[in-house]
Structure 1
Amino acid sequence: MNEYRNEQHPHEEAFNDESMNKIFQKAKWRSVFRNILISGVVSILVFCGGYLLNSYLLSKTAWKAVTPLELNKRITGPNLYMDKPQFHFSLLRGTLEYQEFKMIENRVIPWDDHKVPFDIIRGEGEVLHGSSMGVQVNDGGDARFYNDRSGERQMLFYHPSVIYSSYLNDLPLLNRMRDDQYIEMGLSFDKGYTLSQVDRMLPQGIHATWYWADSYSRDTLKNGAEPLRAEELYGFQAYTERLSDSNRTTEEQFIKNLEAVAKCTNSYYAENAGRALASVKSHQQSGMIIGVVVTGTKNQLKALQQLSFIKAATLGATVDIY
């Protein structure tokens, strides 16, 4: 009997070792699969959480980037308006894209495309110039600038305190233009006027759409300088709402808009607006308006000819009425 039992022990031991190995292997693979599953779930949660956090932070930064642009548009850009901005996000950074269009009476002209990169770390959009820089063309010895998207002329302006080598007067060109066009024209004055004075000075039928404000100090003005491009100027639209003539923009409202930009998060716009604000306030009593943008048909704009307070007149964009 003992011999029989002794003979069974090796088989039982072998059987037990093999079973235990299988159990250990199964436990090992279960542990591996469990760890893989846990790691996968954690990775998905981390990825989704990171994605949501990245989107949330970029969304906040994006609106911080677009707000100064919208504020700055209230004090720059004759007859120019922003289209709806579009945001594109990547890891910790993004791009703001928007278009500008020009309104001439009730007609729209595509004008500019802008891309503004921004990131979470800096918290503000980098200012990049779009096609508003324009294409320079020599026209009879005078430099003209054309928008490179629409092909339309860009207006030029002349500061009343600067002596220029020559002055453009495009009013005679009205005789060569068609009757079925709306015309934009930039007028430079001989000195500064108040808003109420400008409105009384302009003939009836002339639509003043944008007022150029004197935002320059004596240190920045030099005789013999080149005329100023419309996109470089500070001023304000005649009305606070596009296609509405019920809410008139006042000089005080323009100054408030300048103050808002001077306090905005974009350092580039804030610094420039701060300097302009100081100059505008210094000219407010004597008259801050040194130019105006007007629109109308050629017959309406002919009423501007021979007016003594107009120092220069340059043609801007034109669009068919029909």
Structure 2
Amino acid sequence: MSKENEFFPKDFEFEKLVKKARKRSLIKMTLISLVISLIVLTGLYLLGDTVMKMKMEKETNFDSIWNEIIGANVEEQGTTYNYSPTTATAKTKLVKKVGGVPIPWGEQEKVFTILGTSTLITTDGPSGSGSIEDERIPLYYHGERVVEFFHPQVKYKQIFDDRALLNKIDDNSVVEMAFSFDKGYSIEEVNQVFKDQLAWYWVDTFSKDDIKEHNELNKNERFSKGYTINGFEAYGFQYNQHSKAKQASNFISILEAIKEEGGNYQDEAAEIFNNITNQGKMELEPKNLKIIGVVVTGKPSDLKKFSDKSMIRGAILGATTDQY
């Protein structure tokens, strides 16, 4: 059949127009898809960034509040934030104030992502070195001694008393020392004895099961020198010389607030609350807090006046520094 006789003769110009239209349509659809994808990705990124910042604000707030009641004589100095396109890092500096002199006490670092996750960057904890024959292996952190405590209802293999070391330290230095008591005392009773050098109260947050566990640990032959509570694990609150200061009330308020909504600390706060109140059988108020130890600071000569206090069951030297 000849081209002249074709029923539908080909129109090459029309075919070119169709191909060109298809190409334009494909390019248009591709551009629209790219724009939509960019808008969606940007929206997701902004949403993730907002979620990350909200999570970081909430968690760092919880961390800051929790740091007020854990760690013997440790307080926050400030938090810095570093941002990248997909992450943010919060670094919180901790210090000890010994005789009014701040001593750096490490950092807490958390990394947050736009995926809504957070990771605590763990740092080295307290450690000690020595031989099995050593009578005592003190714990150190950042080159300074770490305070340790002895619970009044736990039987230890040996309870140490570092008060004799005060005679070997120059009086141009300032030191901290942790005193563990023979029983629980009221805040007023503790203030009467230690007020001038008082820095921090150790609150009894142990349950009967905790005491049983610690007694069993101290019977364990693997712990040849005994199992103590180091300063990183102790709960309590700072002493403030201001007459209107209410640190005990602040300690209670923190526990109650974190118990209700405290993120990762909620269960721990609830457990402490129940231990102090005997499973809710008594009110959580300052007069019902049992103080079973303190941290005192000052010059060696200032702390020697506590050498004859019968309420002191154990005494552990902590951080030391020059007074000037």
Pick from 67, 77, 86: which aligns with 2:81?
Answer: 86
Correspondences of 1:284-303 after superposition (within 5 Å) = 288-303=290-305
Q: What is the Cα deviation at residue 110 of structure 1?
A: 2.4
User: Are 2:167 and 1:175 aligned?
Assistant: yes
Q: Which runs of 5+ in 1 are unaligned?
A: 1-8
**Separation of aligned partners in 2, 1:319 and 1:247:** 30
Report what 1:52 is aligned to: 46
Cα contact 1:100–1:111 (8 A) shared by 2:
yes
Cα contact 2:72–2:295 (8 A) shared by 1:
yes
Q: Which runs of 5+ in 2 are unaligned?
A: 219-225
**Separation of aligned partners in 1, 2:101 and 2:313:** 28
Aligned length: 299
**Separation of aligned partners in 1, 2:17 and 2:237:** 82
1:183-226 CA deviation, whole Å, 9 max, x = no partner? 11111112111111111112x6x321110011112332144452
**Separation of aligned partners in 2, 1:124 and 1:114:** 17
Q: Which SS does the other structure have where 2:160 is aligned? A: coil
Letter matched to residue 252 of structure 1: S
**Separation of aligned partners in 1, 2:120 and 2:210:** 22
Pick from 151, 164, 179: which aligns with 1:159?
Answer: 151
Report what 1:189 is aligned to: 181
Tell me: CA distance 1:78–1:245, structure 2 relative to 1, closer, same or farther (3 Å). farther
Tell me: CA distance 1:136–1:19, structure 2 relative to 1, closer, same or farther (3 Å). same
**Separation of aligned partners in 1, 2:36 and 2:62:** 39
Q: What is the TM-score normalised by the length of structure 1?
A: 0.80
Report what 2:192 is aligned to: 200
Tell me: CA distance 1:128–1:163, structure 2 relative to 1, closer, same or farther (3 Å). farther
Percent pairwise identity: 31
Cα contact 2:197–2:298 (8 A) shared by 1:
yes
**Separation of aligned partners in 2, 1:279 and 1:199:** 24
Larger Rg: 1
**Separation of aligned partners in 2, 1:89 and 1:287:** 45
Tell me: CA distance 1:110–1:250, structure 2 relative to 1, closer, same or farther (3 Å). closer
Q: What is the Cα deviation at residue 36 of structure 1?
A: 2.3
Letter matched to residue 144 of structure 2: E
Q: What is the TM-score normalised by the length of structure 2?
A: 0.79
Cα contact 1:94–1:117 (8 A) shared by 2:
yes
Report what 2:257 is aligned to: 260
1:244-291 CA deviation, whole Å, 9 max, x = no partner? 846523433322222222223424x22222222233235965761111
